[in-house]
Homo-oligomer: A and B are copies of this chain.
Amino acid sequence: KDSAHLPHTSVGLNKVKRVTVICVLQDINSNMWNMKQLAYGALARRANQIKAELRQGVRKPYKEVIDVFRGDLHGAGMKPLTFVRQVLAACVYPPLINSNNLPLDVRQRAQKELGRCVGGSVGSYSAAAGIPEIVHSISEFIKRRDGGIPSHPENIYISPGSQWSISNILNVLVNREASPRTGVLIPVPCHNKTVLSITQLGAVTVPYYLSEEQAWALQVEELQRALESAKGVCSPVALYVINPEIQQVFIPVIRFAWEKRLFLLVDELYQDCVYGENCEFVSYKRTLSEMGPPFSGTVELASFHSVSKGFLGECGLRAGYVELVNLDPAVMKHIHTIFSKDSCAPVLGQIALDLMTDPPKPGDPSYPLYKQIEHIRAVLVHNVKRVHEVINSLPGFSCPPFEGGLFAFPRLNLTPKAVQKAKELGLQPDTFYCTRLLEEGGVFTSPGWEYGQKEGTYHIRFCIAAPQDIMEELLRRLSSFHMTFMKDFS
């Protein structure tokens, strides 16, 4: 009767440490131990409290919180693209296809997209890799983008956000029985969910530092150093890079990957977000292909993109894709199986991917309005300039020029007094800064240590994709807060 409280010798559940619960910390997937709890949790909770207080009429020095802690255009106040939303609405509610309130090309496009859905509904499952016609349209987009270099639909998989595909490609690469453990080279700073995915699989992150002095450029010597540092610790099999990047590094990085037999994981989510003058996005795949043999046919590469980060900014739809290059067909089979596991990506997100990769053309009724994206680009270019100007004008604050992406990652030169105060509070110094900035300035940013930074340096990170007026307000609040903070702890 009381057998639950006897040790089980037969089926071996003898690791149970507490009698009342089955699943205690000691028993679970031990890789969970290695997963850093994300610290923005506490900041996010406080931001939500403050928002609720403001709604209830509590008086603060600001009327609303400016939410720029993640790369989220709509969250930061940017407007969605009308064409995209109109097509999606008509797909969701097909009677709109017959309504004269929507432009003709919108209605035709919705009709076409529904024709691709099983049973003509966005409510049915699609094929595991995605709706075949959309996968095809993505491959055409890649081919156009890369100046004609072929792209094969069989190598493309659509997933619920690109983070999902990054995790799942890693899942295939990480051999859990390898000894020493599998390692993955990652940049510092790095998107923290990628770090989470790696550690959760039981693999080891091998950090390489981007050069802050050179606008956060990647340096091949540093890759070399990082790889050396892994000796005896783990066995690196992959190199994760974030592109846009200065093109000069592509060839040496690919050579490095080839020499060291590293699988290239290329995060190309920010391919639309290139700001430098005369700069144009070039994909790793294009460079690889142009390098010719032996590289072009051997270096294994996965390139990620999504509807979250371009000018669509549709993070909430959760759809991205990965293109795989040079993979062994036997491995591709496993990639297929793993992408089948969760059925399919959200169908509306898949349709948004189609709209992103095959937008209205000159002559289409929606074409003039689709130029909203040029407005968004202009706003981003302007914001980048303003953030750079304002931050560099503040004492103890600096920001290298930036050429791509959605984030500012300026450096804080905190005074010893500020660092001391943070320590007393049990906080990382930059978390302390962000907490005060949120509390006093109503600006929700995140601390640099969450993404990694050189020992003894401090940063904050915020998204630059906010409408101009919000960005100006943000910079005003940040400047005024910063001056007070520096004075308080001088």
Cα A346 to Cα B333 with chains together (Å): 27
Q: Residue A167 at the B interface, CB < 8 A?
A: yes
Q: Give, as a whole number of angstroms, the nearest-CB distance from A255 to chain B.
A: 10
B315 contacts A343, CB within 8 Å? yes
Q: Residue A12 at the B interface, CB < 8 A?
A: yes
Q: A73-B123, A193-B343 are in contact. Are A259 and B3 (CB under 8 A)?
A: yes
A28 contacts B80, CB within 8 Å? no
Q: Which of A84-92, A371-379, A448-456 contacts B (4 or more CB under 8 A)?
A: A84-92
> A271-296 CB contact bits vs B (8 Å, 1 = yes)?
00000000000000000000000100
Cα A38 to Cα B202 with chains together (Å): 27
Q: Which residues of B contact A486 (CB under 8 A)?
A: none
Q: Residue A24 at the B interface, CB < 8 A?
A: yes
Interface residues of A in 85-108 (CB under 8 A from B): 85-86, 88-90, 92-93, 96, 99, 101
Cα A85 to Cα B345 with chains together (Å): 19
Interface residues of A in 39-84 (CB under 8 A from B): 44, 48, 67, 70, 72-77, 80
Q: Which of B93, B318, B328, B348 contacts A316 (CB 8 A)?
A: B348
Q: A13-B237, A118-B75 are in contact. Are A315 and B123 (CB under 8 A)?
A: yes
Most B Cβ at <10 Å: residue of A164, A180, A202, A340? A340
Cα A175 to Cα B12 with chains together (Å): 13
Q: Residue A35 at the B interface, CB < 8 A?
A: yes
A333 contacts B37, CB within 8 Å? yes
Q: Which of A124-132, A141-149, A209-217 contacts B (4 or more CB under 8 A)?
A: A124-132
Q: Which residues of B contact A175 (CB under 8 A)?
A: 15, 27-30
Q: Give, as a whole number of angstroms, the nearest-CB distance from A67 to chain B.
A: 6
Main secondary structure of the interface of A (DSSP, over half): loop
Q: Residue A438 at the B interface, CB < 8 A?
A: no
Q: Residue A393 at the B interface, CB < 8 A?
A: no
Q: Residue A21 at the B interface, CB < 8 A?
A: yes
Q: Residue A354 at the B interface, CB < 8 A?
A: no
B173 contacts A337, CB within 8 Å? no
Q: Which residues of B contact A125 (CB under 8 A)?
A: 70, 72, 75, 315-316
Q: Residue A23 at the B interface, CB < 8 A?
A: yes
Q: Which residues of B contact A132 (CB under 8 A)?
A: 48
Q: Which chain B residue lies CB-closest to A28? A: B172
Q: Which residues of B contact A328 (CB under 8 A)?
A: 18, 21, 23-25
Q: Which residues of B contact A330 (CB under 8 A)?
A: 24-25
Q: Give, as a whole number of angstroms, the nearest-CB distance from A311 to chain B.
A: 12
A237 contacts B22, CB within 8 Å? yes
Q: Which chain B residue lies CB-closest to A12? A: B235
Q: Residue A186 at the B interface, CB < 8 A?
A: no
Q: Which chain B residue lies CB-closest to A18? A: B328
Q: Residue A31 at the B interface, CB < 8 A?
A: yes
Q: Give, as a whole number of angstroms, the nearest-CB distance from A91 to chain B.
A: 9
Q: Which chain B residue lies CB-closest to A51? A: B118
Q: Residue A476 at the B interface, CB < 8 A?
A: no
Q: A121-B74, A333-B37 are in contact. Are A316 and B346 (CB under 8 A)?
A: yes
Q: Give, as a whole number of angstroms, the nearest-CB distance from A2 to chain B.
A: 9
A75 contacts B343, CB within 8 Å? no
Q: Give, as a whole number of angstroms, the nearest-CB distance from A54 to chain B.
A: 14
Report 30 cross-chain contacts, Cβ distance below 8 Å, ordered by A residue: A10-B231, A11-B231, A13-B237, A18-B328, A21-B326, A21-B328, A23-B237, A23-B327, A23-B328, A25-B330, A28-B173, A30-B175, A30-B177, A32-B337, A70-B125, A73-B123, A74-B119, A74-B123, A74-B124, A89-B89, A89-B93, A99-B101, A125-B316, A160-B346, A167-B341, A193-B343, A196-B340, A200-B341, A315-B343, A316-B344
Give the 10 A-B residue pairs with the shortest CB-CB distance, closest first: A316-B347, A89-B93, A74-B121, A75-B124, A12-B235, A74-B123, A75-B118, A32-B334, A74-B124, A25-B330
